[in-house]
Chain A
Amino acid sequence: MSSEEMLKKQAKKEKRLLYRIKRERASYLMLAPYFILFFLFTVLPVVLSIGLSFTHFNMLEMPTFIGWDNYVKLFLEDDIFGIALKNTLIFAVITGPVSYFLCLLFAWIINEFHGKLRAFLTLIFYAPSICGNAYLIWTIILSGDRYGYLNGILLKFDIINEAILWMKTEQYVMPVLIIVQLWLSLGTGFLSFIAGLQTVDKTLYEAGAIDGVKNRWQELWYITLPSMKPQLMFGAVMQITQSFAVADISIQLAGNPSVNYAGATVVTHLLDYGSTRFDMGYASAIATVLFLLMVGTNKVVQKILGKVGA
């Protein structure tokens, strides 16, 4: 009797699901072109890579299954991975929130300007992101001899008495990389905030003024930020993917491997194994660990952002 009832319920549920799917066929149709490509060029490769992380694969011979060996080696034997993980977390904790804040601050300030000046300022602040490897200018600034701009200035004012090899001295590597990364940070998030600010309904500001909003700061917190919550979420995800994946600037400025691994990050470590040592199984294991780290961080950040303007 009761099992019969359950079957009936089940059938009804299925019918409802089928009905919903049928009703939404336009949605599936619109999603299809994207999703087919996404499945082919993202889902499949990611699944295959996670699979490879359980193998030994040198890109010449067929991969051989070795179970959890790569992960065991990664956490128990690989000292450099420990350093890389520590540096990456430092990057994530410092540059992540700070550059997120900078993106928002500068987007908001630029939004106060008008017309051509606004477009021009947007270009200036986005310049480090649009000029490809613009950070190479830092190699001139940080040059280790006395002709490097930074050394030159410090020598001139007698702050130091001999030139410092900035990128070859362990203690300076991380602070310098963090500054360069912050300088580079007005990228994707910044432009999406600029666009997001454009969609805030102007009449809300007038209504706010009547309701007692007194200055631009109150306006920002009570009207602007809550109105652009979707963009804030987007910016946060982009910030996570960027600050956990710092690698290029470290390789270009400090080298890979850097002096005593002072500038090693998870991704430079991954590149070391993936493109220099051709150990793709191990590189895939590193990528999988990094992925889990970012997913966890994302969960926490999304929760915090839910409280904005509340």
Chain B
Amino acid sequence: MKPTDINDPNYFHKVVDCQWACPAHTPVPEYIRLIAEKRYTDAYMINWYSNVFPGILGRTCDRPCEPACRRGRIDEQPVAICRLKRVAADYKSDISKHLPIIPKKKNGKHIALIGAGPAALTVAADLLPLGYEITLFEKDGVAGGAMRTQIPRFRLPVEVLEEELSYVIDLGINCRFGEEITSMRDLLAEGFDAIFVGTGAPLGKHVELPGFEEARDNIHTGIEWLANIAFEHVSSIGKKVLVLGGGNTAMDCCRTSRRIGGEEVTVVVRSGFDEMKASAWEIEDAMNEDIPILNFHVPKRYICEDGKLVAMEFEKVRKEYDKNGKRLLIPTGEDPVILPCDDVLCAIGQENSLPWVEHDLGIEFDKSELPILNKRTFQSTHERVFFGGDAAFGPDNIISAVAHGHDVAVSIHLSCNEQDINNRPDPITSLASQKMGIHQWSYDNDISNDVRYIVPHAEKAKTLHDVNMEVELGFDEALALKETMRCLNCDVQTVFTDQLCIECDACVDVCPTDCITFTANGKESDLRSALLAPAKNQDQDIYVSGPLNTGRVMAKNEDLCLHCGLCAERCPTNAWDMRKYLFDTAKASA
């Protein structure tokens, strides 16, 4: 193999599994160390610049970082990254002086943002410091988008939402709330320098089966129903509730139902329990609230009596795979299952809705009515129009919407300066030695062996009676400190300088996870199997040095490295060094 090019910004970035997995590439280990130092405000600001809504995301993020966390590969569970982010938000002090300074003198460019959700607000946060004038249109009377309408208050208190929305809005956005845009043609005519569409995927899908029309008054789509709860248009539901669907919206629907009158709430899914799309922790929270989940039940019809919904009929199925490995649901032939119900909530998916974008403006759409976009720049086929968040590629999550927002801001900034928007700026990186003394590092390499700490919950008897009472209490400072010590500091990289190596094997002997070997160079598969414990995880690279004095090379498996620094401590010649790698995605305002 050729020597690894550690100057490639992605090489060490990939080693920081959590940051690599985060759509916004938040520097996770860096803020976790700051939390350990009780520097909550600094930890918060690192998050703020990366993901804009740390307090919201610290409660509601889909946490792609956690399944990626290296700790999960050497221990039973990953670090509770998401809940540590919330700690930074909960314990920070006043951040106003750390927010970006907005120039009084504007740069003359005027941008329109449509939809006050996470994507559009991210675009605003990135462009305002550069002197852009921003006008934000929102059909509702308040900002927040899906963060407000689709996430129940018992998961995200309204004060937390309002606080973080205001940090962005108060930077100086011209808000035109309660104003629904009905024509893109008219908007284009207003002469904005760029238009960003972040209107989400606001259409819920119904389950249309026999009996639907008759039962219609008691059938609701999940996201619209949740929005009605959020705006307090709805405050009760029948005693017996069926929730159709297995995603996070279904979990929010069933838990909300339990709090506003639902006594027997049941989630019913077509396929298997293990195929449910909802996050494992949300399923667990629902089950802890005495909500059964029935799997392999396919809905067949609504049953009404006297023009009112009384039950639903389901067919039991089992899973089989056909020759091509496709999953099939085969009826078991058992008697149909009748589940009595007063209300049905359909949470089987949601769709974009862009009827107000006329199709003759040069903005092209694909077969599924999604705009055709450049996946990197988010530019549509109209050079002044950009899409982001769920409006771009269909329903995803908040953190992806934020990541889109940062990219869109870069695109708009390049476009307004008449630069090639495909020529993206490089990320900002640094690699600095952490050596303080012979055996001292500026990071704490003495990681904790503890298992993951559980976030305390409020008393169930109370939370089930108050739809606005937050269930999770968050870590206190003591628990947070213990959890931070589980982080392996994967951003503190093992950097090898081949010219200094005397091939004494000290690093090989000390490495607790058998990452390092000195061997004859060869194909990647040879090097992967030459280690004391073979490097089978192909998703993780191996780090290969140039030839050493004996002609061998050093090959290091990055997969299970604990970043404990013992290789560098036991290295007599400093051929190994522990260097902190900071990676910041390029932002318009950076």
Do the two chains belong together in a single complex?
A: no
